[in-house]
Amino acid sequence: MLLLAAAGLVAFVLLLYMVSPLISPKPLALPGAHVVVTGGSSGIGKCIAIECYKQGAFITLVARNEDKLLQAKKEIEKHSINDKQVVLCISVDVSQDYNQVENVIKQAQEKLGPVDMLVNCAGTSMSGKFEELEVSSFEKLMSINYLGSVYPSRAVITTMKERRVGRIVFVSSQAGQLGLFGFTAYSSSKFAIRGLAEALQMEVKPYNVYVTVAYPPDTDTPGLAEENKTKPLETRLISETTAICKPEQVAKQIVKDAIQGNFNSSIGSDGYMLSSLTCGMAPVTSITEGLQQVVTMGLFRTIALFYLGSFDNIVRRCMVQKAKPEVVDKTA
């Protein structure tokens, strides 16, 4: 009886693997496609632009700093695979004025054609204890990380729906899956992106437009170096429990998942576990993806409890360590 049940389970899983490709999105062809990357002058954004360019795409780089944009343009152009490819640079703050963002997207489409893929990579980070962060920090991060993704997406979505083709990528963070000490402002802005992405995916899926949310871990970028300058001790120690990824590695995975139309894009085993744990009511790209989440949920939750326990221990140790000098001063 057990053998029969096992055989039935194996047959069911094999059937799912066979049927799954039939309901998955058709991969997006990058050769000749127009890819817009915000925050494309450095870090993950620049590496995503390079990865798409290597596959034959036409690139529009959007960022604030003109000098960095031109420098990134030269670097990207070294990876061309034909002499027809173009890298267009546009300097604009995508988080300030929607009308301005809409106008520059129109300019890009006039020069390079309709946008086939938009990668929302513009973002920034700020850490500190909740009561020590200025209220303006919450407003700034929500503006850059959230509205800085809303505006470009809003500017391209109508054309994508009309053409019935397109990909929209939101670069969130593992801090957008798990709230951590010191990230009350940052995590909030990254969690917001997921809510936007889930609702948007339900709206645009019938039009063959697919949304991808990427959750990269700490990545070796100029942004991380700047963030580490003011990161609280507790946040730094928690961050050090995982390895730092290379931006090239992160970019390859994001581009691969976006091409396939995968809703979730995660990096490494920790990223896979977090995405499975926090999937909730998130869309799935295939039956097998949903099955894997169901099967692994219990095990991953058990592992996660050990992680959470270790994070709490780090916070408590830091609290005790900071309290010791106060005790010495009072007894002196």
Identify the active-site residue in 42, 95, 172, 239: 172
Judging by beta carbons within 10 Å of its beta carbon (0-12, 13-18, 19+), is residue 133 exposed, middle or buried? middle
Judging by beta carbons within 10 Å of its beta carbon (0-12, 13-18, 19+), is residue 87 exposed, middle or buried? buried
Q: Which residues pair with 215 in a beta bridge?
A: 266
188 is catalytic: no
**32: CB partners within 8 A, 6+ apart:** 56, 57, 58
Tokens, residue 296: 């692994």
* Kind and range of the H or E run holding 193: helix 184-204
Report the C-alpha gap between 169 and 172 in whole angstroms.
Answer: 9
Q: What crossing angle do the helices spanning 2-23 and 287-331 adopt, rounded to 10°?
A: 90
146 is catalytic: no
190 is catalytic: yes
**251: CB partners within 8 A, 6+ apart:** 44, 47, 48, 50, 51
Identify the active-site residue in 190, 231, 275, 276: 190
Identify the active-site residue in 53, 146, 151, 186: 186
The catalytic residues are: 172, 186, 190
